[in-house]
Amino acid sequence: MAARKTTSRKPKKQPCPDCQNGQILESFQVGGRRKRVSDDRQEALCLTCLGTGEAPTA
């Protein structure tokens, strides 16, 4: 009889704790001389997962 081969499963990828899809919402400053924080938000790349949406492996 032939030896039975076992296959290893890939571990499930954990979602990033800081974002859901690789992007976060961030406030930004507007104005000429007196910079004030805007009430609006803009999308930015998540620095924890670098935009992949998966938790970094250590």
pLDDT for 3-50, tens place per residue?
787 778 777 788 888 888 889 999 999 998 999 998 999 999 998 888
Q: What token pair was written down for 3?
A: 């030896």
pTM above 0.85, yes or no: no
Measured between alpha carbons, how far is 56 from 11 in angstroms, rounded to an integer?
Answer: 13
Residue 45 CA to residue 26 CA, distance in Å, equals 10
Structure token digits, residue 32: 């000429």
The whole-number pLDDT of residue 11 equals 76
- 22 with 55: CB under 8 angstroms? no
Angle at CA 16, nearest 5°, toward 11 and 19? 155
